[in-house]
Structure formats: C-alpha cells, structure tokens
Chains A and B, each alone.
Chain A
C-alpha cells in the first residue's frame, strides 16, 4: 500500500499513532522519576496498554481500509511532520507489541529488583530500556519524515546499547562500546543522506520525496550513504562487527530485544527508503547486490553458527544468517517493466519473514537463556539430558527452529512461498537456490542443538536448577505465535499458499531441507553429530569431514577478519562506494 501524497489530513483515530509512540516514553519518564522497584511495575502496567493501542490501530486501519495519518501540531508536510501507518507499519506495530509483552513476561523473574541477582541497577535499567526500545520502534514504524526517523534511530541506539552491558563485566562494556561506535557511524551516514535529500528537494517527507525525487547524482549519493548506514545498524554481513560480541555477554532477555526487535528498526527504515521514498532511484543491480550481501550473510553466518561451542553464540550467529534472509526481498520486488521497486508479493513475503524472525528468534534466545540458567553453562557438547529435564524449553527451541527454517506450517513458510513465487515470476532463479539452501543451513544448526539436548547423558545426570515456569511458557507462546503467523493465509494472503503439509511434494521438500541440514551439521559442526559421547578432542575422521572442517575454519577466519575494526570500516566505505557506483552506472545502462 504505497503512501498517497494527497492524504495530507489527519484521519479519524490518527491520535492512536501519537499515543503508540508516547505511551512507552511516558512509562520511561515515570519509571525514572519513581526509580528502583517501581520501574518494573510501571513497565508491566504499560505492556498491556501498549498492546491494546497497537491492536486498536490495526482494527482502525483494517476497518477504514486506508492508511492512518496524523499531522503533528496540525502542520501539514513539508513544513510539519506527519505520522502515517500503512499496512506494513500496522503489522510491525502489532508484532512488536506482542514480542515486547512476551519478553516482559519472560523477564519478570530475571529482572526482579527484589531479588539478590542481578541487583537493582540491572533490573531497573532493563525495564526502562525495554520500554524505550518499544517506543523508539513504534516511532520508526509510523514516522513519515526522514529527520524524525533519524531521531528514532538515535533513540533506538541509546536504548539498545546499554542492554549489551547490563551485566557490567569488562568484556560486555567493550562489546557495548563497539556497538555504540559502529551504530553511531551508521546513524551519521544516514543523517548525511537525509541532509543531501533535503538539499536537493527541500523536503524530508517520505510521500513528498517519492513524488519529487529523480535519479541524479545527489539522490544516488544520498541513497548509497543512508543504505550503508542502515546496513551497519542492521548488522548485515560484512557490517556485523558488533553483533556476536554484543550477544556473547548480554542477558537472554536483552539478547531477545536486540536480535528480535532492535535490528528490525533500521531494517524497516531501509524498506521505507527503498520502497516508499526513492523507489524509482533504485536500480536492478543495486537491488541484486543488496540481495547478494544477504546471501553471503546466510552462508557465512550459518557455517560459523555450526562451528560455535556455546549455544548463545550459535543463536547469535543464526541471527547473522537470518538477517541475510531479510534482504532477499529487495531484488525480488524489483519490477523490470517500470524499472522500480514495487509493493508486491515479495515485499509482503519479506515483511512476513521479518515478523516471523522477530517472534521465533526472541523465543529461541529465551530458550537458550533458560537452558543456560538451568545448567549454569551453555556448552553445546554438554547439553545431554536437557530434553528430559526441561521438555517445554526444548519444545520451544524446536518450534522456533521450525519457524526459522520455514517448514510448513509457519509464518516463514508462507514468506518463503511468496518469495519463491516472486523469484519464479521474475525469472530470477538464482534466488530460489539461496532460499532453499538457506533453509537447509537453518535446519543444520537447529538439528545440531536438538540432537545434543536429546542425547542421553553418558555419566551422571547433570545438575539442573529449576527455572520459572512462567518464563518457559512465555518463550513457548512466542514460538507458537511464529507458527500461527501461517494463519495469515486465511486472511489477507492468498489461500493457495498454504497446502497440505503431508502432500507428497511438501513432504519431500521438508525432508530434503532436513536431510541437507543433517548433512551440514554432520560435516561442519565441531563434534560429529551422532558420536555416542563427544570426546574432548575428537580426531577428524574421513576425507569429507576433514575438508568440511577446513571449510568451517576458513569461514570462521573470514568472519573474524570482517569483524576487525579496520576491516569493518573499510567494508563500510566499500559498501557505500559500491552502492553509489551501482546506482550511478545502473541508471546509465
């Protein structure tokens, strides 16, 4: 649903957008004033209210069938700032509200200021930051102005960074600083792009820019800079310098916020920029390269995920890979006829992928956090016996895994279907390979974890601490939400997308993905998948596994190299120049 410029009037119910943004912020302000134990109470009161507002916005938009607009202060753009909610924004608002509520319930026990650990500092800060992230994301979704969006990005950064170092240990502080600096570089690049656009067209309003912008050097430069900045904040390979260390030491709930929610902000802004503000400036080759970066992220992220010894880092690298998935829609949404990006099935698929990742990845981080809390460690090789002790959590991990793989029935399955159809329709068969291959990679690391938790403990049963049941069920509920997104096929999406999961063709595809996953896990993981008891140093046996191991080591080296500061900054410049060049020459050719 493209924004319509003539809708420069406030629509009925538009005030809901203002409330959606300000309610969490007011919560933060009150939480600061009341301090201590009250921060948690304020947050827990805000969660249901915010969810209700998001649902009210969805109902209003669905009933009116048009986008919701609010002119702040009664001033119409370009002089004033408009808030707008189209279908994409509504979907994001609702899903983010659900995920925030899920994380809130999960963290209720973890961040209880009355408890000894983690102490009043971390617990009151966490609740303030959760609300802060929520309000900032809502602003990203509904803002129709590139500068307000810059402020939203800044809000999101300052809300997200302290989540990394809630623990307070030295290495988490270093990770937070790394995230802060790289995210600020990204913000500045985006701001530079926005400033250039204002200089060229005299407006920052997305709908007005869509009408005014033409392919010319300033626009190319602005788009290249802003895109690069947003990719850095989204942590798309090779600009993922901050993501793995940030997750290594962050509490599980904080990781869930960062990975499921925070990166979606800059990603959604990129969609706004490419699809809504400057769709006619984008070129075929630029969209292809954005998709290609996504494909590389899938391969590198997945292989490195399989090489991890710690569960938390496996899930973190799975995020690196899944971020890649979120960029496959850009080349598929390029319409060769009109030579621009269009709102079509590919975009729907991409957004469905995004929300399905938000729910699934949040619950996966929660499950990993519960396992780690119960065992006191999260070494993948020593997870034997967990399935028997924590069946709900293991079920959560499996369901979230299925949702990430895109196996029927799940939201990601529909997303994959939509993207595959787009690939077939536009004749871009190469993205079919990426989509199916990516699913197999995901299956690889999910199977790796499941095989280890299902293994019977060799010696004594591991000592397992009890974890709060409410946290377990909150994680499970989010994972189930991810599957339930498949119900979208009953409503807004064409029904033919969902088919009988037991039909021969579907079953074959599912089995092939799983088989591919098993083979990848067997070849690339640190320990062979089905070894009876993983010895400390398992000698590599067999030519195939040896060469696969060498490949894994090579990818791990590439990842390490890309995450060095010097190389990352060079990558930033190269990506900016690359997009600038592709837009420039693509428009010529």
Chain B
C-alpha cells in the first residue's frame, strides 16, 4: 500500500513539474507550482523529514506561491508564460541538454553509497548536551548556529533590496497597494475568524520546535500569513517603512542572536556556545527574539517596495 502511495506521489510530482514548466498560461503555471510544493511536502513526510515538510509547505509552497500569484496578477492574468523565451530553434537542443544533465545527475544519485555516510549518529550522541530533544533544532541552533544567524541576516539583505526598488517620492512610505474588500464579504470574514486560530497554531509550532518538529521559521511563516490575510482583507494597513519601531523590530532578532553568541564567549568559552544548564533557555530565547523579526521580514518581503506615501 505504502509503495503504491509513494509511486503515485512520484508520478504526480513529475507530472506537476512538467505542467509547471510547459504551461502556456502564467496563472496555470503558478497554480501548478503551489500544488507541486504541497505534494513535495507530502513526499518529505514520507521520507520522515517532518521539519523539511513543514518548511516546504509553509515557505516553498505557501509564501512563494503567494508571491508568484501576486506577480502573475500584476503581469495580467492571461499573460503568456512561454511567450518571450526567444529562439524557438534552440528549444530542442536546450531540452536535450537539460535531459542529459538530469540523466547524469540521476546516475550520480544511484552511485551514492548504499548506506550513506551521515552525521546523524554524531548529532544523536551530542544531543543531550544541547538540552533540546529535536535534533534539527540542535543542528540549527547549536552545532551550526552560525548558518541560522546568517540566514536571518540574508532575509534582511533581501528586504533592503526589495525596499530599494521604491520610487524616490515614496521612499519611507507604506509598502504595496491599499487593499479594499467587501466589509461583509467572505475575505473579510475569514480575515477576522482565521487569525486567532492561526496565531495559536503558529505559536504552538514555534514553541514545540525545541523538542518536536517545528520551529521559528515555520511558526513565523504562519504568523506572517495571518498578518498578510488581515492586510489583504483591508482590515489593517501595512506600516510605513520609515517607522522606527518597525526597523528596530526587524533587527532585534539577529542582534539578540549575536548578543547571545558573544555572551557564550564569556560563559562557555566560545562564540555561539551556551553554558551548561542554560542551553535550552538560551536557545528558546534566541528563537523567541527571532520570531517577530522573521514574521515581519517575511510579511514585508511579500508586500514589496513602498508604493505610496505615509497617509493610509
């Protein structure tokens, strides 16, 4: 039975990938991509990568899908996805070359060792000293904490880039367009009902991350989605990007992370090391500090460059 499900999943994934690539209509391609992401999350569940599945569903399919939908609707719904790809004579050689590279990669995957070398036993052996029970969290916030810190900073760089696309008169203003919706319509209704539930679920995913699959990135994505829902329904407006509270909240997470890192220098002898007995509280403190920053960054990245002044 499981084999059948896996086989079906693989076939569907390939079919959706082909659909997304070949679709003539941009909107259809985006929908295909979102479905592809959702199925990919299922595939990760099948591979026991629950954390990756959550991330794929939240960021890979959810936020990215929303971003693409936005872009597609701005470029007009019926825009031709494959219209501007240039020389059609070159399509066949391009397809053949892609197939050749994919084929070579496939052979390589088969050539990988039967029992792959892995650091999982190392992680398991050192898990106790990190005081958290989710090995993924141990990797992300203890063994390779630097990467996580840098990832949080990457998002801010991306936000600087997105904001820099604003026109000069609107610099410092509110991002995106003001959204209006029927006050008693289904969107406004959903935006009133869903966020309380979403916030609780997001907070839970964040909180449980220390011991079970979940964590700040997935939690922040859910919270950002709730915020965006409220904005899209026109129930609230995005803040102007010149607001000091907004800017401080954006950098507070990474700065707190760096501060805890240097604290480790004093208390545990190395940057980003944690003193014994305080590992879990410090890890949770870092995640707690990152949560609002990440929520804001993800939401603001989706909202895009400032398009209007400060007035609501």
Contacts and interface: CB of A to CB of B under 8 A. Distances in A.
A139 B109 CA distance: 30
Given A32-B156, A78-B119, A201-B117, A125 B254 contact: no
Q: State the main secondary structure of chain A at its contact with B.
A: helix
B298 to A, nearest CB: 15
Contacts of A32: 156, 160, 247, 250-251
Contacts of B100: 573, 577
A74 interface: yes
B158 interface: yes
Nearest to B139: A79
Given A18-B271, A80-B143, A577 B97 contact: yes
A125 B118 CA distance: 42
Contact of B108 (A78, A202, A218): A218
Interface stretch (A152-160, A323-331, A412-420): A152-160
B47 interface: no
A118 to B, nearest CB: 8
Contact of B117 (A129, A139, A159, A200): A200
Given A32-B251, A79-B123, A221-B105, A565 B112 contact: no
B146 interface: yes
Interface in B87-124: 87, 90, 93-94, 97-98, 100-101, 104-105, 107-109, 111-113, 116-119, 122-123
Interface stretch (B6-14, B33-41, B59-67, B262-270): B262-270
Interface stretch (A23-31, A285-293, A335-343, A347-355): A23-31
A42 to B, nearest CB: 12
B147 A35 contact: no
B168 A566 contact: no
Given A33-B248, A577-B100, A196 B143 contact: no
A85 to B, nearest CB: 15
B153 interface: yes
Given A71-B270, A155-B157, A577-B100, A570 B90 contact: yes
B171 interface: yes
A574 B154 contact: no
Contacts of B113: 200
Contact of A166 (B86, B108, B164, B247): B164
A492 interface: no
Interface in A208-236: 216-218, 221-222
Given A18-B271, A28-B156, A162 B161 contact: yes
A495 B168 CA distance: 55
Interface string A80-115: 110000000000000000000000000000000000
A576 B105 CA distance: 11
A569 interface: yes
A296 interface: no
B86 A565 contact: yes
Interface string B259-282: 000001100111111100000000
Contacts of A434: none
A473 interface: no
A274 interface: no
Contact of A158 (B101, B122, B154, B268): B154
B157 A70 contact: no
B101 to A, nearest CB: 6
Contacts of A33: 244, 247-248, 250-251
Contacts of B166: 121
Nearest to B97: A573
B108 A154 contact: no
Interface string B59-89: 0000000000000000000000000011100
A519 interface: no
Contacts of B101: 573, 576-577
A573 B98 contact: yes
A147 B140 CA distance: 13
Given A70-B271, A72-B145, A218-B108, A165 B164 contact: yes
Contacts of B151: 151
B242 interface: yes
Nearest to A10: B270
Q: State the main secondary structure of chain B at its contact with A.
A: helix
Contacts of B165: 162, 165, 168, 173
Contacts of B167: 168
Given A218-B111, A221-B108, A79 B126 contact: yes
A253 to B, nearest CB: 15
A25 B104 contact: no
Given A196-B108, A200-B117, A566-B85, A148 B146 contact: yes
Interface in A554-589: 564-567, 569-570, 573-574, 576-577, 580
A73 B271 contact: yes
A28 B112 CA distance: 42
B230 interface: no
A75 interface: yes
B94 A570 contact: yes
Contacts of A159: 157
A305 to B, nearest CB: 26
Give the size category of A's interface with B: 35 or more
A166 B251 CA distance: 23
Nearest to A135: B153
A222 B108 CA distance: 9
Contact of A574 (B97, B157, B251): B97
A155 B86 contact: no
A132 interface: yes
A488 interface: no
A121 B242 contact: no
A121 B147 contact: no
A508 B252 CA distance: 62
B67 to A, nearest CB: 14
Query: Which of B100, B145, B146, B165 has the most chain A CB atoms inside 10 A of its CB?
Result: B146
A222 B105 CA distance: 9
Contacts of B273: 73-74
Nearest to B148: A151
A155 B153 contact: yes
Contacts of B242: 35-36
Interface string B280-308: 00000000000000000000000000000
Interface string A163-177: 001101000010000
Contact of A74 (B94, B157, B268): B268
A26 B261 CA distance: 13
A161 B154 CA distance: 13
Contacts of B86: 564-566
A35 to B, nearest CB: 6
A11 to B, nearest CB: 13
A128 interface: yes
B23 interface: no
Query: Which of A74, A152, A168, A173 has the most chain B CB atoms inside 10 A of its CB?
Result: A74
Nearest to B142: A73
8 contacts: A32-B160, A122-B168, A148-B150, A217-B107, A218-B112, A221-B105, A566-B86, A577-B97
Interface of A: 10, 15, 18, 22, 25-26, 28-30, 32-36, 70-75, 78-81, 119-122, 125, 128-129, 132, 139, 147-148, 151-152, 154-155, 158-159, 161-162, 165-166, 168, 173, 192, 196, 199-203, 216-218, 221-222, 564-567, 569-570, 573-574, 576-577, 580
Given A36-B242, A577-B101, 16 more contacts: A25-B254, A32-B251, A71-B270, A72-B146, A72-B270, A74-B270, A119-B171, A132-B160, A148-B147, A155-B150, A155-B153, A168-B167, A168-B168, A217-B108, A218-B108, A570-B97
The 8 residue pairs across chains A and B that have the minimum distance between CB atoms: A202-B117, A74-B270, A162-B161, A121-B171, A158-B157, A573-B97, A73-B272, A29-B251
